[in-house]
Amino acid sequence: MAIKLVTTAAQLRTESARLLTEKQGSSQGLVPTMGALHEGHARLARTAVEQNDVVVASIFVNPLQFGEAVDLDRYPRTLEADMELLDAEGVDLVFAPSVEEVYPGGEPLVRVTAGRLAEKWEGASRPGHFDGALTVVAKLLHYGFPGAGLSGGGAFVTGAGAGLPAYRAYFGQKDAQQLTLVRRMVADLNFPVEIVAVPTVRSADGLALSSRNRFLSGEEREAALVLSRALRLLEERANAHEPLDLESAQSLVESQPLVGLDYFDVVDPDTLEPLAENCKETPFRGEGLAIIAAKVGPVRLIDNVPLNS
């Protein structure tokens, strides 16, 4: 395998500087993940490799963003297989730090506050989740800053890309609320990084890929398909300039006894406010995001589709 594993911030700085110099690179991409990688993560990695000279993927199961310890404990950890998948996509470095490396003094006293956008939808059922997620994303964006280990403060003095290397970080549309919040953090706090959104990867039957799908029984997996079916129904109606009729799509989900619906709505992708008026009798116009969350057996699943009309 050409890919290299680093576990400390110091190693990451040294290795990414070495690669940038060696490749005369002018850009670096970061793909933050929690491991247990699947084709969805592979798409993120592939996009990053296409767009950057040096690509770092991070694998870190962040205790700060888990509500319950059991959930954290049972999160799948599959480093060997993850490295193979990332290597096949052409990723240069895997940064897989320990909890002690990331939080040397225990839980951090100062954290990112995700604010109002984090109180609804996923945030409503997972209090503190987005503060924890944004705190670690902020740290990972700092760790992955290109050229931090280069002389001259990271400025590039030779090669085609003289100046600071470009910096991009890759996030999945699958976690739409997280993506919105990361974009807001980067804009509101002036992080010098471009956030690139990557479309959701699904299995052939429509189920959005997720590391948690492995906890579904065969019957539950079959039942879970109703989520993507309901979203697709809304997408078709939006494309046909028809009223979305959210209620009938909701009834479809509720007719599935193994699925416990949490929320299903159409929101503004930037403010996450419901676009309720747009969904009733009049044809859908503009840009929206249909979002859904449900418990299927022991697993909480989320999915969404962007709507454009």
Interacting span for ligand AMP (CB under 6 A) from 159-167, 188-196, 207-215, 269-277:
207-215
User: Residue 132, interface with ligand AMP (CB under 6 A)?
Assistant: no
Q: Is 241 a residue of the active site?
A: no
CB 144 within 8 A of CB 56: yes
Name the residue with tokens 């997972």.
126
Going 288 to 187 to 51 to 174, the CA torsion angle's sign is negative
| CB-count exposure of residue 72 (10 Å: 0-12, 13-18, 19+) | middle
Pick between residue 40 and residue 165 the one whose CB is nearest to ligand AMP. Answer: 40
Cβ contacts of residue 63 below 8 Å, gap of 6+? 72, 99, 103, 107, 132
According to CB under 6 A, which one of 87, 175, 262, 287 is a site residue for ligand AMP? 175
Torsion angles phi and psi, residue 210, rounded to 5 = -155, 145
User: Residue 200, interface with ligand AMP (CB under 6 A)?
Assistant: yes
Residues 39-58 that bind ligand AMP (CB under 6 A): 40-41, 43-44
User: Residue 172, interface with ligand AMP (CB under 6 A)?
Assistant: yes
User: Residue 60, interface with ligand AMP (CB under 6 A)?
Assistant: no
User: Residue 211, interface with ligand AMP (CB under 6 A)?
Assistant: yes
According to CB under 6 A, which one of 33, 47, 278, 304 is a site residue for ligand AMP? 33
d(CA 93, CA 4): 5
E strand or H helix that includes residue 248: helix 246-254
Pick between residue 17 and residue 61 the one whose CB is nearest to ligand AMP. Answer: 61
Q: Tell me whether strands 93-95 and 4-6 are parallel, antiparallel or unpaired.
A: parallel
Q: Among all residues, which ones are annotated catalytic?
A: 41
List residues binding ligand AMP (CB under 6 A): 33-34, 40-41, 43-44, 171-172, 174-175, 198, 200-201, 208-211
